[in-house]
């Protein structure tokens, strides 16, 4: 019996995509169950044909039929990839995606930013998913190219947040600006005091990141109304950091995809 034949009889699967500055993450859901997920690099200019081949390969690998998709929901912070992805989805799945932030997609979350349109789509999706899972208030920390904190107020609004350079970005910038420093990758170092230049850079970058994030969590929880707010961690770098961050209450690696699935169910059920 094929995967498509064993699908939930009540409906077809949803395809969601989180298009970030470093990676594109795709998820295939049946109801709230994540059936399959894939990652592609977003650090290049894909054509619709190239992305169509990638999508075709994903569905072939998973065993699910691309044409069985009930709807496609996308959160993107890389505008130049939006139209190539939409074209690829049309070619492979027979439909164009809905984009978070467009007029047609209603998130159901009030945004207290001075200009709500400035908030990245992925940040709204993270806040929405965290509120759905844990209620309000809640704090989301997403560690990727940038590290973001997104705060949901006691009233359930998107209250705002913080944005800082991700540790890999900061480390790469240091290597570029200092001629004699080698290129090194972010890594957990057991010893705080490095014995050579590379280990000194790695220890400094890692533990500075840990202490900065731990300190920001403490500061956020000191804000009125947030003393007992749970902290949810997500993003590609969290698995490296989470063991040294006791202030994190929940590690939810697929939080953004889960939020996109929630929006997809709401959006396409109205059509």
- pLDDT tens digits along 134-175: 999 999 999 999 999 999 999 999 999 999 999 999 999 999
Please answer whether residues 230 and 138 qualify as being in contact, where contact means their C-beta atoms are separated by less than 8 angstroms.
yes
Cβ neighbors of 103 (< 8 A, separation 6 or more) are none
230: exposed, middle or buried (C-beta count within 10 Å: 0-12, 13-18, 19+)?
Answer: middle
In angstroms, how far is CA 88 from the centroid of its own chain?
A: 21
Tens of pLDDT, residue by residue over 51-83, are 999 999 999 988 889 999 999 999 999 999 999
Tens of pLDDT, residue by residue over 91-144, are 999 999 999 999 999 999 999 999 999 999 999 999 999 999 999 999 999 999
In angstroms, how far is CA 86 from the centroid of its own chain?
A: 19
Tens of pLDDT, residue by residue over 205-219, are 999 999 999 999 999
In the predicted structure, residue 231 carries a pLDDT above the cut 70 = yes
Q: In angstroms, what CA-CA distances link 154 with 34, 111, 256?
A: 29, 13, 21
Please answer whether residues 61 and 34 qualify as being in contact, where contact means their C-beta atoms are separated by less than 8 angstroms.
no
DSSP state of 225: T
What is the pLDDT confidence band of residue 269, given thresholds at 50, 70 and 90?
A: confident
Strand partners for 19? 24, 76
What is the pLDDT confidence band of residue 9, given thresholds at 50, 70 and 90?
A: very low
Q: Determine the pLDDT at residue 162.
A: 98
Cα 26 from Cα 225, distance rounded (Å): 35
Nearest one of 51, 33, 34 to 42, comparing CA atoms = 51
Q: Determine the pLDDT at residue 11.
A: 60
Q: How far apart are the first and last CA of the chain?
A: 31
Strand partners for 146? 165
Reading the block at residue 99, the tokens are: 């984009």
Residue of 122, 142, 150, 258 marked catalytic: 122
Strand partners for 231? 139
Nearest one of 14, 20, 144, 142 to 81, comparing CA atoms = 20
Burial of 57-66, coded b for 16+ CB within 10 Å and e otherwise, reads: ebbeebebbb
For 183-202, the DSSP string reads P------S-SS-SSHHHHHH
Q: In angstroms, what CA-CA distances link 210 with 97, 143, 176, 187, 219?
A: 37, 11, 23, 12, 14
Q: Determine the pLDDT at residue 49.
A: 95
In the predicted structure, residue 43 carries a pLDDT above the cut 80 = no
Half-sphere exposure at residue 193, Cβ-oriented, CA atoms within 13 angstroms: 0
Please answer whether residues 234 and 140 qualify as being in contact, where contact means their C-beta atoms are separated by less than 8 angstroms.
yes
Q: Which domains does the chain have, with CATH numbers?
A: 14-99 (3.30.420.40), 116-255 (3.30.420.40)
Cα 59 from Cα 28, distance rounded (Å): 9
What is the pLDDT confidence band of residue 4, given thresholds at 50, 70 and 90?
A: very low
Reading the block at residue 271, the tokens are: 């059509």
Cα 70 from Cα 85, distance rounded (Å): 17
Active-site residue 49, yes or no?
no
């Amino acid at each position: 019996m094929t995967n498509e034949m064993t699908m939930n009889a009540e409906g077809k699967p949803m395809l969601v995509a989180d298009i970030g500055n470093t990676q594109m993450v795709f998820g295939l859901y049946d109801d709230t169950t994540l059936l399959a997920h894939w990652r592609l690099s977003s650090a290049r200019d894909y054509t619709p044909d190239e992305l169509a081949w990638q999508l075709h390969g994903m569905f072939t690998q998973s065993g699910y039929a691309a044409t069985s998709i009930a709807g496609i929901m996308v959160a993107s912070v890389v505008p130049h990839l939006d139209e190539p992805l939409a074209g690829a989805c049309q070619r492979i799945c027979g439909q164009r995606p809905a984009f978070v932030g467009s007029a047609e997609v209603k998130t159901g979350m009030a945004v207290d930013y001075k200009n709500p349109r400035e908030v990245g789509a992925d940040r709204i999706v993270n806040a929405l998913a965290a509120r759905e899972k844990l209620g309000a208030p809640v704090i989301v920390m997403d560690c990727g190219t940038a590290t973001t904190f997104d705060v949901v107020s006691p009233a359930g609004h998107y209250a705002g947040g913080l944005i800082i350079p991700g540790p890999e970005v900061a480390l790469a910038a240091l290597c570029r600006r200092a001629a004699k420093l080698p290129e090194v990758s972010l890594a957990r170092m057991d010893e705080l005091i490095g014995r050579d230049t590379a280990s000194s850079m790695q220890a400094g970058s890692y533990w500075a990141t840990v202490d900065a994030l731990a300190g920001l969590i403490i500061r956020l929880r000191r804000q009125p109304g947030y003393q007992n707010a749970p902290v949810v961690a997500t993003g590609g770098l969290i698995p490296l950091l989470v063991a040294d961050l006791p202030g994190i209450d929940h590690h939810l690696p697929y939080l953004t995809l889960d939020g996109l699935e929630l929006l997809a169910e709401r959006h396409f059920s109205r059509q």
